[in-house]
Amino acid sequence: MTVLLAAHSSAEIYRDLKKLQVVGSALYVAAHPDDENTRLLATLANETKVRTAYLAFTRGEGGQNLIGTELGPLLGVIRTQELLAARRIDGAEQYFTRAADFGYSKSVDETLQRWDHDGVLSDAVKVIRELEPDVIITRFPLEAGDTHGHHTASARLALEAFKAAADPAFHPEVGKPWQARRIYWNAWSPDPNAKLDLSKAIQMDSSPYSPLLGLTYGELAALSRSQHKSQGFGAAPSHGANVEQFILLGGDPGKTLFDGVDLSWKRVPGSAAVSALLDQAVREFKVDRPSASVPVLLKALAAMKKLDQPYKQQQLVDVIADCAGLFAEAAASAHTVVEGAPLDVTLTYLNRSDAKLKLEHVALPDGQTVQPGKASLKAGGPLWADFVLGEFTVRREVQFKWVDPTVGERFRPVAVVPEKTLKPDTTLLVFVDDKPKALKVVTTDQATGKSTEVVQQVKPSSSTLSLGGQTLTRIEYPHIPIQTLLKPAEVRLVRFDLQRGKVQKVGYVMGAGDDVPQALRQVGYEVTLLDDETLRAKPLEGYDAIVFGIRAFNTNPRLPQFRERVLKYVEGGGTVLVQYNTKNRVSDVPAELGPYPFELSHDRVTDETAEVKLDANPVFARPNAITARDFEGWVQERGLYFASKWDEKYVTPMSMADPNEQPSRGGLLIGKHGKGTFIYTGLAFFRQLPAGVPGAYRLFANLLAHGR
């Protein structure tokens, strides 16, 4: 991830100067990463110029991943960083609560129960009391409807927090009481044909054109929203106006969002001098010489220090540094350092203007005060360097930088790690007989980089094997900073009986990325990843079954070209198993996936304990006898993106339903074609197999062997 430390352009500095004249804030609230309205955030932050923040109740760890195999907590790390990347573009800030994304929920009551209502509410109140927003805006309505239970819960909690934040008796330890002026729902409907009652709504254009930035906020917002790459949310820019609707949920009615709210410095007692100096700086700003504004801004800073305005004070310091063209950098000699070991840092400071700013010293977190040049600090807690210029301080995080020959200069955070880390070659060992398995464990000395490999034999059992140390995982994608994670070095052991029938060789077509191929290898299948060239021209008859990974037809637009060859493989006696694909506003699938037509829907069964009813069908009889016990221990969900309509040539031998819903039979479609079998399934095998769920393995084995 390249982080630019250079000063802003004159136009951006002028925008930031005008932001300093505005005292006010807005808080946008929703459930997940990618729920936020980036157009509105960009407009509020840059055009209205109020302090703007997005509170996401979760980090999105329960979703799917379009760009890799990370799921669960690792996906939460990616989506957190995508939110931060988005905020760096649209100019808003980012906050979270402790709420966990436990997957799609159809029930707001289930969500509020599983989220620790009081704890999550106190988190939201803490954010409100810290930001002191004049206006709070929810992305979703209060009424439960055809939407995610997390969505509705986020709106209801936002309204509760709006009231609770003003109550001195509610969690006084999380800040002083604050009463926002009003709270709105940013009204919209996922159904374009739905009619909303907007008779009392107020309106606002969230995509005006900014001459200072040279684009509309809809264009800026598209860049921001497109950071949500793990969810496939690349967005087209809005080049013209876009009208937002706001429906009052609580507080004083207004004709505009900030109607009756004083956004000037007049609301801050004793601020007349600050306001006058900032007005002067704006009037006298020289686009070709921003440094001329430094003297008056330093006077404004001195006056502002007498007020309790830490956010505006930091905002002013940033503008002064930009006006002076200051360059400050703390570059580490390595991207990884052992805890407690010395880390060499090169400190660079440049004043690239005629502004009279003198660097006194650089303060390091271990208490050292040094001058620019080489320094050494002991790695432990946060790594930063404070460049002290007398009137103010510029903080820079210590980062490692290097030159990528194809990208140029890049930066990454410095990871503080234990002296030794352990890396097992798998985090799951599945035993389907009584034979032990070899486990390879690589031990790395993080100080020297040297590694040793040890192989140990592990006996079959169902337990967790602790390796007595920590394992290090790195997440690396070009749109976010490299993330280094440490967790206990453990391997889960699972023992159960499994028959594979006549299936040995499996071809696997990767989609959005999952760990199903590795899981199949664990239980004895020979799995070969199939690329486009193989599907186009190479023999397929050598595979006992071919599996398409999750979202394969969403992510690879070339797959329809190979449909006839794949169906000929089925016709000749092969088995093709297609896992779930999505069909929505950002993803589509070919009109024909199988030999006979069927339609995909958004139908899913989110309760992982939902009752499953099985018909009398050979697919549940061999090579493994599938019963209700095989659906015990499933994680997060039963399945998603079920078929809603299908040709009568398909058999649908199972049904399931979430509480208070009609049973769905679209989770598994089986169709004979010639001598072979085509199967579509929305069952969440991509979660169950890596989690070591025995019944999911047994059912998957039956699907692969069906028709053989």
**pLDDT, tens digit, for every residue of 272-321?**
999 999 999 999 999 999 999 999 999 999 999 999 999 999 999 999 99
Same domain, 410 and 532: no
Q: Residue 438: which domain range?
A: 418-495
Per-residue pLDDT of 164-206, as tens digits, reads 999 999 999 999 999 999 999 999 876 666 778 898 999 999 9
Higher pLDDT, 300 or 233: 300
Eight-class DSSP state of 561? G
Q: Are residues 468 and 515 in the same domain?
A: no
Q: What is the mean pLDDT of residues 562-567?
A: 97
Q: What's the mean pLDDT in 225-240? A: 93
Does 587 lie in the same domain as 557? yes
pLDDT tens track for 104-138 = 999 899 999 999 999 999 999 999 999 999 999 99
Tally of structural domains, the chain: 4
Q: Is the pLDDT of residue 467 over 60?
A: yes
- Domain membership of residue 586 (yes or no) is yes
- Same domain? 341 vs 434: no
What is the CATH classification number for the domain harbouring 546? 3.40.50.880
Spatial separation of the C-alpha atoms in residues 558 and 590, rounded to whole Å: 10
Q: Which of 319, 308, 310 is nearest to 277 (CA)?
A: 319
Q: What is the pLDDT of residue 587?
A: 66
In a shared domain, residues 408 and 431: no
530 and 578 both lie in a single domain: yes
Q: Which of 495, 518, 549 is the last residue of a domain?
A: 495
Answer whether residue 580 shows pLDDT above 80. Answer: yes
610-632 per-position pLDDT tens digit: 999 999 999 999 999 999 999 99
Three-state secondary-structure class, residue 173: helix
**Band of pLDDT at residue 3, cut at 50, 70 and 90:** very low
HSE-CB for 154 with a 13 A CA cutoff: 34
For residue 291, is it within any domain?
no
Residue at a domain's end among 440, 467, 495: 495
Whether residue 287 lies inside any domain: the answer is no
Residue 529 lies inside a defined structural domain of this protein: yes
Task: Report yes or no on 15 lying in a domain.
Answer: no
C-alpha distances (whole Å) from 368 to each of 341, 365, 377, 385, 558 are: 16, 7, 8, 10, 59
Same domain, 66 and 121: yes
Asked whether residue 312 is assigned to any structural domain, the reply reads: no
Same domain, 594 and 467: no
Specify whether 35 is located in the same domain as 114: yes
Residue 477 has what pLDDT? Answer: 96
Q: What is the pLDDT of residue 7?
A: 62
Residues 581 and 701 in one domain: yes
- Whole-prediction pTM value? 0.92
CATH number of the domain encompassing residue 28: 3.40.50.10320
Whether pLDDT at 5 is above 50? no
Cis peptide before 623 (omega within 30 of 0): yes
556/534 Cα distance (integer angstroms): 14
What mean pLDDT comes out for the span 469-480? 96
Q: Is the pLDDT of residue 591 over 90?
A: no
Which of 354, 386, 416 marks a domain boundary?
Answer: 416
CATH number at residue 405: 2.60.40
Assess whether 484 and 629 both reside in one domain: no
Residue 51 covered by a domain: yes
Predicted pLDDT of residue 194 = 73
What pLDDT, on the 0 to 100 scale, is given for residue 590? 79
Cα(348)–Cα(375) distance, integer angstroms: 11
Model confidence at 146, pLDDT cuts 50, 70, 90, reads low
Interval 394-427: pLDDT, tens: 999 999 999 999 999 999 999 999 999 999 999 9
Is 359 contained in some domain? yes
Q: Is the pLDDT of residue 37 over 60?
A: yes
Indicate whether 491 and 432 sit together in one domain. Answer: yes
What pLDDT, on a 0 to 100 scale, did the predictor assign at position 191?
A: 66
Q: What percent of the chain has pLDDT over 70?
A: 98
Structure confidence at residue 585 (pLDDT): 61
